[in-house]
Each structure stands twice: as structure tokens, then as C-alpha cells.
Amino acid sequence: MHFDLLHTDEKSNARAGELHTDHGVIETPIFMPVGTAGSVKGVHQHELKDSVEAQIILGNTYHLFLRPGLEVIEPAGGLHKFMNWDLPILTDSGGYQVYSLSGARKITEEGVRFQSHVDGSYHFFTPERAIDIQRSIGADIIMAFDECTPYPCDYEYAKSSMHMTHRWLKRCFNQFEKNGPKYGFEQALFPIVQGSVYKDLRTESAETIASHDAIGNAIGGLSVGEPDDELYAMTDHVCGILPKEKPRYLMGVGTPVNILECIAMGIDMFDCVMPSRNARHGMLFTSEGIINIKNKKWEKDFSPIDPNGTSYVDTAYSKAYLRHLVRAKENLAIQIATIHNLSFYLWLVKEARKHILAGDFATWKDQMVPKLSNRL
Amino acid sequence: MHFDLLHTDEKSNARAGELHTDHGVIETPIFMPVGTAGSVKGVHQHELKDSVEAQIILGNTYHLFLRPGLEVIEPAGGLHKFMNWDLPILTDSGGYQVYSLSGARKITEEGVRFQSHVDGSYHFFTPERAIDIQRSIGADIIMAFDECTPYPCDYEYAKSSMHMTHRWLKRCFNQFEKNGPKYGFEQALFPIVQGSVYKDLRTESAETIASHDAIGNAIGGLSVGEPDDELYAMTDHVCGILPKEKPRYLMGVGTPVNILECIAMGIDMFDCVMPSRNARHGMLFTSEGIINIKNKKWEKDFSPIDPNGTSYVDTAYSKAYLRHLVRAKENLAIQIATIHNLSFYLWLVKEARKHILAGDFATWKDQMVPKLSNRL
């Protein structure tokens, strides 16, 4: 796996690149739809390719480990074969969901003991185990096992947590080297910068992470409730330290505006549940602004969902029809809205890439940003 | 609209025909997927065409009237345009749902007063109103407003209800003649035979219905809980009375076996929620038998959902993957299982038609029937 940095914008730090994996090339900047339990909710795999134009998707280790479990994913030949998806996959380490979803949990130097939200069973994740599990799930990109601190988080906790994350990182890399690829294609391990919203901690963490010389690096612990100012300040600061020639993945971010602003700072990869989760509640992102399709104003609006949209759902169905489906709690509502939102996010990063390569990214971004948060 | 009877089987009463509508030709025998509120749950319209190969779908007047309501469907230009479906549509009269779903309801000679299950509002359906509403929804085939008696139903109630249904039928046809097509294409009114499980009542009802010389005729009041013996006895009896040159629609039926047996008796059209509803609970119909995909035995079965299936989902996804999705309550489970079951039903009637035309329907049916109810 390797990253080719093709072009860096002159008026910002935005970059266009190519991440080469054994499952194909990812054109960056890229957005990765979240397929929590081996499915992007409401979207067939061929629709992800053909309508959303996803180039890589994300799976959640916590969910996949609990259900269907490695006892199913391993004999299937890994997640790609299990779910019939032959483009790249990235898995998180499971840490974030252990902290946010599980029942009782206890963090020690050794690892995290937690209770399944599915059946109440107890499990123990260590850095070593998180790497082995991800090897078995079989993602192309696997993530270090870290502690993702909440917001707000006091300085002392953030500092000691970060140091533990750094110690865990060494254990992750040791385990990663010990056991090779599981299914005959390359798997890369990305380490994660932590340090909450403290600049000095972020500096120390970014330098530590950079020292591992991994194929790519991630920034975690953001988009957890902090104001956008802090998100941007930390992202910009960390991008200044992480190596330029490696892809930078900002975990869990964010709104369309967040994505453009962070592309401008030098981020190459994003994932977020927002486009898919908000779709399920009738919130649509478009190039002209945000639509709450449940609003009465769309009741008799028979115009296309998004005349500028790139996916077939945008012109095949009207706003009034989608509004009806959302109100009637029809499954098709989720399907249409999710394809729309994800294809919009993919369009947005593709458009950003085009403007980076054309040299007018900063101008284009300044025109787009006010429109994106417009309420239609 | 007209029906061409192409061939009748020599060893049974099975028939192959063509029902010509302004939205295209329907090849009979046919199964009509149920799109209750303007959507076949979990299936995009283009998937209904391309993967399920549906030729006509059904809409429920009760649901569509309550939500989104005629105030939305009319300005949309009717249901075809509202939902973006350009093949034929049939609507029921709303009667069945009024009896089974609504809150308080009162049946009088004039009509039925009922309370919406959506918002508790009160409404009054008369035969005239049911016809006007269906004209406005804009189906190609609209159904007479009748009382669908429950099972069991005592003889006297069944008799007086049937007589009221016959009086209502005259009012339906009067209203149907009074107001013409709403959107520039032909709409046909099908009357419905009632009479519960009483042969003499079914005789009287079938003769009354036949006397209206409608484009097609329906059999109602079956598949409401009676044993298969009674379903078959009534269907066979009524088919012997209804005119041969008109299509016969058996409402709400049924299992794959029911469908083959009733095709053998001379039924041309079917609708049923079973394939789509059972799909949502993980029950799959296949040419080798019935699969409960939630069963542990499929946990590590990585073979295709249905190697003989006609839809792409049958080979794109494995049994183990679908089982996982059903257990994890993923939306995609509904989507995959529904496309599978509906495409199986459509395959079944298409296959029946092929064998009717080839002259070996009875033999084929006798081979299929034992397999269809097999538990895999």
C-alpha cells in the first residue's frame, strides 16, 4: 500500500492524492460511508458502487466482533467476501464503541473489559486483541487501539490517557508485525493522534505518531462535542506536524462545511455517520443547503429531490414523495435519503479534488461554504 | 382495456392470457406485489421492474387516502406520477382495511364510518366515494366497495352482507359511469364475488357479479383464515360460474401452493402481502422449499441465498450474510429478502404460464407442489 501525493493547493494546504491498496486505488480527498455491521444501512453494495460512487467503506470492529463474530467472518474468508464488497475497507479498532455503546466497562493498562450491548456478555479488548480481530475481519486499513477521550476532558486525564494510547500503540505495532496479513492482501495499520483540545498534548501525540512512520496517520478524539473552532484549531495544528507524504485521516468528521474546511488544512480521508444517520431522520444535504424533508413546505413540491444531485434517486423521486415516505415510516425513505446524502458527500469530496487539481480550490470552497449550511 | 385468453390447459382449468391496459400488457397468470402506501416496502421502483419483474402492483386506497391523501396525489397527477411507476396499478376499495385496521367503525346501508389508525380522525366511505377516491388515486384497475366478511361468519350474516355488497355494486357502477377517467387513461372497475364459504351464496354472488359484464371479475372474502380446503372449494366453484373470457382475480391469496392450485382452477390474478411481509421476518420462499433464514443452520452457510433464483440478490449475497443482517435488524435484510420473495413469486407465475402454453402445466404443478411447502 502506498500514497501518491499528486498536488497541494497553493492558497491552502488542501491536497489531492491516490492511496493504492490491493483492492484498488482511492482518490483523495475521500469520504468513507459507514457500514457499521457489514452493511451501509439501506444501501445495496452495488448501489454503493454505482449510485453513491464510494471508493472505500468503513466497518465497526466492535459491532462485527459481537455479531456475526469472527466465527462467521473468518470462515467466510473475511468481510470483503462475507458482504460481497471488493473495494477497500477500513475498520476502526472498536475502542470508540466500547466507550460509547457497551454496558459496564473498565479501562486498565492491559486493556478494556466491557459488556456487549447485544447480549450482555463480557469481553476483553487489548491492543493485541484489537489488531488480531481486525486482521481477521480483514480490512485493508486497520486502526490502532486507543482511548478516545470525551469532550470536555480535563488536562490531566487527557495527558495520561494519551500516554497510555502511545504505550498501546507500541503494543499494536508489535502485534501487527508478529502476525501478518490474514487473507493474502496487504493490511496497513494507521496510528491515531489523541490529546483532546490541548495544543501541547496534540503536538506531543502527533510527533509520537509520526515517529512510527506508518503508511497513513489518523487524528482521533475530535468531533466528540467540541465547538468547530476547537476542531479546526486542533486539525490545523496536527496537520502541520504529521508528514506531508502520508495520508491523513480525520476520524468521525463531519458536516459538509467541516469537511471542506478540513480538506483545506490537509486532511485526505473522512468518515462520519452524519449523512447516513441524518438521512434516516429526513435531513438531506445538497449543494444549495440543508433540507428537512418532513417540513410541510415540501408536501406538494413535486420537483426532484435534488436537481443537481449525481445519483439517480435525485431525479427519480420528488420531494413530496420522499416526504410522504418519511412520514409513513416506509423503508424506501431510508433507502432514498441515504443514497442521496452519501452520493452528495462523495460528490463534495470529488468536486474538492477536481478544484485542488485545477488550482482554484480556495475560491471554490469560499463560494460553497455559505451555501452548504443554508436551510432550504 | 381488454383481455385476450390465449390458451386453456387440457388437464386443468389453468389459463394463459394477456390483459391489455393503457400502461402496458400484463401476462397472466400474474402476481401483483403489494405497495400499500405508494411503495413496495424495501424495494425501489426500478428494482420492481428490473429485479422482481413485476408487471402490475397494488396500492391500498385506505392507506393512500389517509396519507398522503388526495390533496397530494391529485396535484401530483395521480399515483403513477407521484411514485414514478409507469406500469399498471390496481387499487383495492379500502373496505378491507377499514374493517381490519381502523379504530371505531360503523357499517350502514349508506356506507362505513371509520376512524383513521394514523391520527384518529373520522371518515365516511360510501360506494360512490370509494369509486371517486380510486379514480383520483388513478389506478388502471379499481375495485368495487364491498364488505369482506370474516371467517368464520354465520350464514345469515354472510347472506345479508352479500346482498348489501350487491346493492353497493350497483351504486359503484353508477358512480363509475357518472365520472370518467381522471388522468386520460382507461380505468376499469372489477366487481367482487362474496358469500363467505357457503356454496349457494357464492353461486348467487358469482351470477350477480357476472351479470355486470365487467372487464374483469374478482373473488373476495377468501384467505381470511379459512382452511385451504374451503379456499379451494369456493374458488373452484366460483371459477365455474364467472365468464371464461374475462380475467379472474383472487384477492389476498396466498402461499406458493395456493397460487398454483388456484391457477389450476382458472384464476388469472393474485395479490398477497405474504411474500413481502414474511420476507421482513426472514422467511424465504424458494423452488426447493421454505427457508427460515434466522435458523442457526444457516449461520456459516456461505452458499448463495437461492442458486436457482432469478434475481441478482439470490447470488450476490449468501445465506449466512442475510441471516446476519436479519439478526442485526439491518435495513438491507428487508431489501434483500423482499426482492428475493417477490421475484420468486413472479418467477412462479411466469413458470406456470410457460407450462400452460407448453401444455404440461398439470404435470409440472404436481411436481412443484410438494417441493414448495418443504421446510429447508
CATH code of the domain in which B92 resides: 3.20.20.105
Within a domain: B142: yes
Q: What is the pLDDT of residue B102?
A: 76
Which of the following is catalytic: B9, B146, B268, B271?
B271
Contact check, Cβ <8 Å, A320/B68:
yes
Among chain A residues, the shortest Cα distance to B324 is held by A68
Say yes or no for a CB contact (<8 Å) between B41 and A332.
yes
Q: Active-site residue A228, yes or no?
A: no
Structural domains counted in chain B? 1
Distance CA B321, CA A45 (A): 12
Read off φ and ψ for residue A16, nearest 5 degrees. -115, 135
Q: What is the pLDDT of residue B99?
A: 85
Chain A positions touching chain B (beta carbons under 8 Å): 37-39, 41-46, 63, 67-68, 71-72, 75-77, 81-84, 299-300, 302, 312-313, 316-318, 320-321, 323-325, 327-328, 330-332, 334-336
Nearest chain B residue (CA) to A313: B44
A324 neighbourhood in chain B, CB within 8 Å: 37-38, 67-68, 72, 82
Instruction: Spell out the long-range contacts of A184-188 with Cβ–Cβ below 8 A and sequence spacing 24 or more.
Output: A185/A21, A185/A22, A185/A23, A185/A140, A186/A1, A186/A21, A186/A22, A186/A140, A187/A134, A187/A135, A187/A138, A187/A139, A187/A140, A187/A141, A187/A142, A188/A1, A188/A21, A188/A140, A188/A141, A188/A142, A188/A214, A188/A215, A188/A216
Report yes or no on B215 lying in a domain: yes
Beta bridge partners of A7: A16
Structural domain contains residue B95: yes
Whether the predicted model's global pTM rises above the 0.95 cut: yes
Residue of B nearest to A45 (CA): B316
Lowest mean pLDDT among A334-338, A372-376, B235-239, B243-247: A372-376
Q: How far is A124 from chain B (nearest CA, A)?
A: 22
B342 lies in a domain?
A: no
Q: Give dist(CA A157, CA B72) in Å, integer.
A: 56
Which positions of chain B have pLDDT values less than 70?
none
Q: Which domain, by its residues, includes A253?
A: 2-273
Instruction: Please compute the mean of the pLDDT values over residues A20-39 and round it to a whole number.
Output: 98
A92 is catalytic: yes
* Interatomic CA distance for residues B330 and A224, integer angstroms: 25
In B77-198, which residue ranges form alpha helices assigned H by DSSP?
A: 79-83, 95-100, 127-137, 155-178
Mean pLDDT of chain A, nearest integer: 97
Single out the catalytic residue among A9, A140, A271, A314. Answer: A271
Give me the mean pLDDT over the A191-203 stretch: 98
Bridge-based pairing state of the strands B248-250 and B269-271:
parallel
| CA distance, residue B23 to nearest chain A CA (Å) | 18
Residue numbers in B near A300 (CB within 8 A): 71-72, 75-76
Give B137→chain A minimum CA distance, Å.
14
One of B92, B146, B306, B314 is an active-site residue; which one?
B92
The string of DSSP codes covering A15-78 is EEEEEEETTEEEEESEEE-B-TTSS-TT--HHHIIIII--S-EEE-HHHHHHTT-HHHHHHHTS
A300 → closest Cβ in B72, B320, B335: B72
Q: How far apart are CA B232 and CA A52, in angstroms?
A: 48
Distance from CA of B65 to the nearest CA of A (A): 12
- Examine residue A143 and state whether it is found in any structural domain, yes or no: yes
Tell me which chain A residues have a C-beta less than 8 angstroms from the C-beta of B84. 316-318, 321
Indicate whether B362 belongs to any domain. no
Whether the predicted pLDDT of A113 surpasses 80: yes
Determine, for residues B67 and A327 on separate chains, whether the beta-carbon distance falls below 8 Å: yes
A332/B42 touch (CB, cutoff 8 Å), yes or no: yes
Nearest CA in chain B to A330: B41
Q: Mark yes or no for CB contact B324/A44 under 8 Å.
A: no
User: Is there a contact between A299 and B68 if contact means CB atoms under 8 Å apart?
Assistant: yes
CA nearest to B315 within chain A? A84
**Is B355 part of any domain?**
no
Q: What percent of chain A has pLDDT over 70?
A: 100
Let me know if residue A141 belongs to a domain. yes
Mutate to test the interface with A, among B321, B323, B334, B339 (most CBs of A within 10 A): B321
- Tell me whether residues B38 and A300 touch, CB distance under 8 A: no
How far is A7 from chain B, CA to nearest CA, in Å?
38
**A250-257 mean pLDDT:** 98
Distances (CA, A) of B129 to A2, A110, B148: 68, 72, 17
Which candidate in A9, A92, A140, A146 is catalytic? Answer: A92
Question: Least CA distance to A72: which residue of chain B?
Answer: B300
pLDDT for B180 equals: 94
The H or E element containing residue B26 is strand B24-28
3-state secondary structure of B343: helix
In chain B, which residues touch A (CB < 8 A)? 37-39, 41-46, 63, 67-68, 71-72, 75-77, 81-84, 299-300, 302, 312-313, 316-318, 320-321, 323-325, 327-328, 330-332, 334-336
